[in-house]
A and B are shown apart, each in its own frame.
Chain A
Amino acid sequence: MSDERKLSYGQAFNEAVSQMMEADPDVFCAGEDIGAFGGVFGTFLGLQAKFGEHRVVDTPISEQAIVGLGVGASVTGLRPIVDLMFMDFICVALDQIVNQAAKLKYMFGGEASLPMTITTAGGGGLSAAAQHSQSLEALLCHIPGLKVVMPSNPYDMKGLMISCIKDNNPTVMIKHKRLLGMSAVVPTEAYEIPLGKGNILRPGTDVTIVAYARMANEALIAAAELAKEGIECEIIDPRTLQPLDADLIVDSAKKTNRVVVVHEAVRFGGLGGEIASQIQELAFDYLDAPVTRIGAPFSPVPFSPALEQHYIPDAKTILAGVREIMQRNVIRG
C-alpha cells in the first residue's frame, strides 16, 4: 500500500519539511503567510497546527529580514527554513543572500556554518507576468557559497528537500510553480538524494538532453515523440545546479556525441552556457555538433497567455532543437 502512495510535488515538499521538523528540534520555518494560511501555494499547509507558532513563523513582508533571520539563526546554531514566496523576490533580499549567507563562513575563516534553506517558487506558465515568473537560478549559481536545487518531480522533491535541510550550507530550494500539482509515487519514509548528483531520467543513445525542473518533463514528452522517429534521447536531470554533476553530463555527451541543453530561463547568460562550455572543455573530441542551447528569449516574461506560451520553451521547442542537431555532423578525420 505505502509503496504505491502518491503525493503531489507540493505535498512531497511539505512531507520533507514535516519529517525533518519531527526529527530535529532545531529546524523551524519562517516566511510570509506560511503559518495558519499554509503558504500561498499551500506547501506549508498544516505545519503550524502540527508544530506550533514558534516553529512555523509568520513574518512581515520583509524579504531582507526573512533571509537575515535565517542567517542569524543558522550562524548561532539553528537549522532554519526561510521562505521567499516568489523567486523574483530574492532580488529584494540579495544582500543577505549574496553578501551575507553565501560568504560569512569564508570571511570568518571557516569559523561559522550556516545550515539554512531558502525555499522559493520559480518559473512561469501562470500568466503571472515579469515579476512573478522568473527563473533566476543562474544568478544564484554564480555565487560561491550557495547550493542551488531545482527538482523536476515529487520523488526528487522530497529527497532533495531533506538533503537541503540536512546540509550545513545555505541552500536554495526552487520549487517550480507549474509542477506543484504533479503527482507520483513517493516513499513514506524520509530519504535523501545527495546534492550534486544528477539523474538519468531516460536512457538513450542518440542525443543527450540536459534539462531540469519543468523542462525535464517537457524533454520527456519530446523524447517519447522522437522515439517514434527512431531517435533515442538520453535525458539528464542535474537536479542540483550548484554543485553541478558535470561528470554525468560529460559521460552522456561522450556516449551520444550530441547535446541539447534546455532551461526556462533566458538563454543569454543562462546555465546552458556553463553546461555547454564544460562539455566542450571535457568532451570536445566526442562532439558531432555544437551543443545546442534552448532557453527563453532575452525579454522579461510576458503576461498574456498568447505571448507567454511562445516565450517558455516546451516539448515542441525541444523537438525542433533535437531534430536540428541530428541533422548536423562533423566529418571525423
Chain B
Amino acid sequence: MEISTTKQFDLHRRMVRIRLFEEAAGRLAEANRLPGFLHLYVGEEAVASGVCGALNDDDHITSTHRGHGHLVAKGGDFNRMMAELMGKATGYCKGKGGSMHISDTSLGMLGANGIVGAGSPIAVGAAFANRYRGRGQVAVAFFGDGSTNIGAFHEAANMACALHLPIVFACENNEYGEFTPRHKTMAITDIVDRAAGYGMPGVIVDGMDVIAVHEAAVEAVERARQGGGPSLIEAKTYRYYNHHGIQNLGLKYRPDEEVATWKQRDPIFTFEDRMIENGVATREKVDEIWAELRQDIETAIQFADDSPYPTPDQIMVDVYTKSSTSNTTVGTKS
C-alpha cells in the first residue's frame, strides 16, 4: 500500500500531538495540578493515529479509560482537552467528565470510558445506526487486551458479527491489564485468536509501527464501509508509564529492561528516522513540527489555567435533556 507523503506527515502529526499532550498532562499531574485519575497513552500513539488516520470525520469511535490519545487522533482540541483535565468550565465536558470521560461527539468521539469493556457495545450501537442511515459511516471500538476478558466485549463482538455491522475492533494489546501481565489473566498469547470465534477476520500488527497499523486499518475500515462486516486488529504495543499517573507510586510490576526495550522501538522516533531515511522529511522539518505543536500545548495550558471553574449551580444542569413532549421538571424535590 502506497502511503502518500501528506498522509505520512498527517500520521506523524497525530502521534506527536498525542505525545506532547500526554507528557504535558503527566507533568501537570506530578505537580498536583490535575484532579482525579490520569491514564496516559504515551507509547501507544501509533495505534490511535494509524487507525483514526483511516477514518473520516463523521465516522465514530469509542474509547477507553486511556482515552486522550483517541480524542487527539480524531482531531480533539488541546485547549478544551486541557481545560477538561483541570476541571474547568471551558473543558470538553464543562468540568463534569474529566480525563476518563473526555469526548467530542461532533468529532464522532463517543467518549473515553471509566468502565473497562463498556465502549465496545456502544460502538456496536453506533455501527448499527450508521448502517441504518446508509451513509457509509463506520464505527471503531478501541479497547485493551484486558477488556477482552469481560463479558461486554464478547457480547459486542458476537452481536456485531451476527448483525454483520460496519465496525472495526481495534485492540491495543499493551501486555498489562492495569498492573497484572497478560499471561496471568488469559491462556492465549494473541488476542486475535478470539476473532475467529465470532466469525470475523483478525490481524496482528506491530503497534509501534504507525504505517503497519494504518494499512491494516485502511483495509478493515474499507471492508466495513463496503458491507463486508466487522474485523479485529490486534496492535502489539506498550504503555511507557504506569496504569495511571507517571511512576510516582514506585510500583514494581514489570522489569525496567522491558520498558527500555520497548522504548527503543518508540513509534514516533522510529517513524521519523524512516521518513528522513526515505527522503520524505528532514530533521529540520521534524523539529519544526515539534516546536509548533509544543507551542499549542503551552497555549492550551495557559487557556486552561485562565479558564474559570464551573459554578455550583451547574451541578444540576444536563442531568436530563429537555424533551419536546414533557415539560415537567425532572427529579424529585429535594
Contacts and interface: CB of A to CB of B under 8 A. Distances in A.
A78 interface: yes
B247 to A, nearest CB: 28
Contact of B158 (A60, A80, A100, A144): A60
| Residue in A62, A78, A169 with the greatest tally of chain B CB atoms within 10 Å | A62
B202 to A, nearest CB: 19
B43 interface: no
Interface stretch (B213-221, B295-303, B316-324): B316-324
Contact of A243 (B129, B325, B332): B332
A77 B330 CA distance: 22
Interface string A165-194: 011110000000000000000000000101
Nearest to A275: B332
B328 A69 contact: no
A105 B275 CA distance: 42
Interface residues of B, number: 59
Contacts of B333: 246, 278, 281-282
| Residue in A147, A168, A197, A246 with the greatest tally of chain B CB atoms within 10 Å | A168
A200 interface: no
A195 B326 contact: yes
Contacts of B123: 72
Interface string A69-94: 11111111110100000000000000
A68 B105 CA distance: 17
Nearest to A282: B333
A106 interface: yes
Contacts of B128: 30, 69, 72-73, 78
A309 interface: no
B96 A106 contact: yes
Nearest to B165: A69
B295 to A, nearest CB: 26
Interface in A52-78: 54, 57, 59-60, 62-78
Nearest to B134: A54
Given A72-B121, A109-B94, A194 B328 contact: yes
A246 B329 CA distance: 11
A28 interface: yes
Contact of A106 (B113, B118, B126, B318): B318
**Interface size bracket, A side:** 35 or more
B122 A167 contact: no
A274 B331 CA distance: 12
A165 B325 CA distance: 10
B173 to A, nearest CB: 22
Contacts of B96: 106-109
A145 interface: yes
A73 B120 contact: no
B121 A67 contact: yes
Interface in B279-334: 317-333
Contacts of A75: 105, 110, 122, 125-126
Contact of B122 (A72, A242, A281): A72
A221 interface: no
Nearest to A82: B125
A196 B329 contact: yes
B129 A196 contact: no
Interface in B148-175: 151-152, 155-156, 158-159, 162-163
Contacts of B129: 72-73, 76-78
Contacts of A162: 325
Nearest to B122: A72
Given A72-B127, A108-B111, A109-B94, A65 B152 contact: yes
A74 B320 CA distance: 14
A129 interface: no
Contacts of A133: none
B114 to A, nearest CB: 7
Given A65-B124, A65-B156, A77-B129, A72 B318 contact: no
Contacts of A78: 128-129, 132-133
| Residue in A63, A65, A66, A167 with the greatest tally of chain B CB atoms within 10 Å | A65
Given A100-B118, A112-B105, A243 B321 contact: no
Contacts of B113: 100
Nearest to A99: B115
Contact of A69 (B101, B105, B158, B159): B159
Contacts of B327: 194
25 contacts: A54-B132, A64-B151, A64-B156, A70-B125, A71-B122, A72-B62, A72-B121, A72-B123, A72-B124, A72-B127, A76-B129, A77-B133, A99-B114, A107-B101, A107-B111, A108-B96, A108-B105, A109-B91, A109-B96, A144-B319, A168-B323, A169-B323, A242-B332, A243-B332, A282-B333
Given A68-B155, A73-B132, 6 more contacts: A64-B156, A75-B110, A104-B111, A108-B93, A196-B326, A242-B332
